[in-house]
Amino acid sequence: MRWLMEAIKDRQMYFIDSRTTPDTIAFTMAQFHQLRSASRDIFLDNEQSMHAIDRSLQQLLRLARRKGTAIAIGHPHENTLAYLAMALPKIENIKVVSISELIAQRVRESALAATSLQALRHN
């Protein structure tokens, strides 16, 4: 993993851990290498039925409303694409953004939090 993280850092890229195994160390390694990184919250289409994809998306939306953001990963399967084309326009009060935009937002929020913490320590 070290060579991968170093290559990502050299190219000023970010890393998203898909968490396809419960034993993943990828996100921890990305953090160790001080990479802009995140980890998926929901896998949309482990089961490829429309009903299962809907359950996953509803879980993602609940999480996003509770935490402020959530990351989903899915495949370009026919059912996944069809479901998202139907469902996404109907979602209210949720903004769907690219992962690069979300990472940039989280970096800005972390920097702002660190600056606020420093200001509190100096007062």
Determine the Cα angle at 21 with ends 47 and 74, to 5°: 40
3-state secondary structure the chain: CHHHHHHHHHCCCEEEECCCCCCCCHHHHHHHCCCEEEECCEECCCCCCHHHHHHHHHHHHHHHHHHCCCCEECCCCHHHHHHHHHHHHHCCCCCCCCHHHHHHHHHHHHHHHHHHHHHHHHC
What CA–CA distance (Å, rounded) separates 60 from 66? 10
Percent of the chain whose pLDDT exceeds 70: 92
Q: What is the mean pLDDT of the chain?
A: 88
Flag whether the pTM goes above 0.85.
no
Domain chopping of the chain, boundaries: 1-39
Handedness of CA 112, 113, 118, 123 (dihedral sign): positive
Nearest Cα neighbor of 37 from 19, 23, 57 is: 19
Amino acid code (one letter) for 123 = N
Please state, as a whole number, how many other Cβ atoms lie within 10 Å of the Cβ of residue 87. 15
- pLDDT tens for each residue of 76-103: 999 999 999 999 999 988 888 888 898 8
pLDDT at 7: 92
